[in-house]
Amino acid sequence: MQQHVDSKVVDMEVQRIVPPETIAEMQEAGFFQVLQPNRWGGYEMDPRVFYSIQMELAKGCMATGKAEPVEGGYTFNGNWSWSSGSIYCDWILLGGLLPGRMVPVNWNIAPSYCKI
């Protein structure tokens, strides 16, 4: 899968979208079921498995983000040059590491809360 994604990077950057065939391959490989609960047909794996998969697929085109502590939680700010998979999503899963602690966290956000 990594080689296929690597071969499509230039096309994805020019078109600013993940090709539908790549999304279909990810679906077929079960990537979207990694965090999904067993009772709904998912694999219910540890989030670290999900992070490992994402890190492998994102080599060379990793987005950046910053989590800042605020009263009652964190503010997650980032600037991504493109959000190619967002057209396929009902929810956007943003991940990051808490500053100074390297603790992985996720934020599930409705696209209406994002500027895309």
If one compares 68 and 71, the residue with the highest pLDDT of the two is: 71
Same domain, 74 and 111: yes
State which of 60, 85, 103 marks the end of a domain.
Answer: 60
Same domain, 80 and 48: no
State which of 60, 83, 101 marks the end of a domain.
Answer: 60
State percent of the chain over pLDDT 90. 15
Query: For residue range 20-62, what is the model confidence (pLDDT) as tens digits?
Result: 888 888 899 999 999 899 999 999 998 888 877 876 776 644 4
Which CATH number fits the domain that encloses residue 9? Answer: 1.10.540.10
Same domain, 100 and 47: no
- Domain assignment of residue 28, given as a range: 1-60
Q: What are the C-alpha distances in Å from 45 to residues 36, 38, 41, 111?
A: 8, 9, 12, 25
If one compares 93 and 29, the residue with the highest pLDDT of the two is: 29
Identify the pLDDT of residue 3: 58
Task: Please compute the mean of the pLDDT values over residues 73-96 and round it to a whole number.
Answer: 75
Nearest in space to 85 (alpha carbons), one of 17, 6, 10: 17
